[in-house]
Amino acid sequence: MLNLIIFGPPGSGKGTQSSNLVKRYKLVHFSTGELLREEIAKDTPVGKEAKKYIDKGLLVPDDIVIPKLYRRASKYMDSPGFVFDGFPRTIVQAEALDQMFNKRKIPISLVVSVVVEEEELYRRIMGRSEDSGRSDDSDLVARRRLEIYKEETMPLISYYKAQGKIVAINGMAPVDEVFGKISHAIDTYLETNKILAVIH
């Protein structure tokens, strides 16, 4: 089983690259952002609660998000693997993920960290905002999301570095070029079991 985490700040291309990864490696896509937006669209109790946080650019509490992982991952344990996109975002979420997969002896294989300069992130989110229909793509909320990423999610880089699982990919390039670098990191891992530290 190939269990990937695609990690990075808002606008770094996690969703875009996940679509490519799903096709190439036949993985199940787990995007908490998408799952939460579906709940909001259906106006469920979870959706109503999540919206309060998403609209402010804050993280949705772990006790809402982690059960989403359990439910979805349990359904697809026979799949060739997962790509986790936008999850985990806190140490508590990372521990829940490790606990779930280590117990089944199918640990996280590789964490692909997509590195993009802050002004480019902001530019991409603003570019998308014209037709995304996302309530969190406004100017102020986008800035807040970037701040929250630094405060609450960046500490996961050290968490996965300590496990020797993270590869940093330069995401300041066209989509196909970034995908080429990500695929190179994954193929190297699959062929040699080695995790490259950085791909420029």
Whose Cβ is closer to ligand AP5: residue 29's or residue 128's? 128
First to last CA, the chain: 27
Whose Cβ is closer to ligand AP5: residue 30's or residue 189's? 30
Task: Give the integer Cα–Cα distance in Å for 26 and 81.
Answer: 8
- What single-letter DSSP state applies at residue 112? E
Q: Pick from 94, 86, 97, 83: which is nearest to 37 by CA? A: 86
- Least distance CB 194 / ligand AP5 (angstroms): 25
Helix, strand, coil proportions of the chain in percent (round to 5)?
A: 60, 15, 30
Whose Cβ is closer to ligand AP5: residue 169's or residue 193's? 169
- Least distance CB 125 / ligand AP5 (angstroms): 6
Query: Contact residues for ligand AP5 (CB under 6 A)?
Result: 8, 10-16, 32-33, 36, 53-54, 57-60, 65, 86-87, 89, 93, 124-125, 127-128, 136, 145, 171, 174-175, 178
Whose Cβ is closer to ligand AP5: residue 124's or residue 161's? 124
Contact 30, 73 (CB under 8 A): yes
What are the strands of the beta sheet with 166-170, ordered from one edge?
28-31, 81-85, 2-7, 110-115, 166-170, 198-199
Whose Cβ is closer to ligand AP5: residue 25's or residue 53's? 53
- Least distance CB 193 / ligand AP5 (angstroms): 28
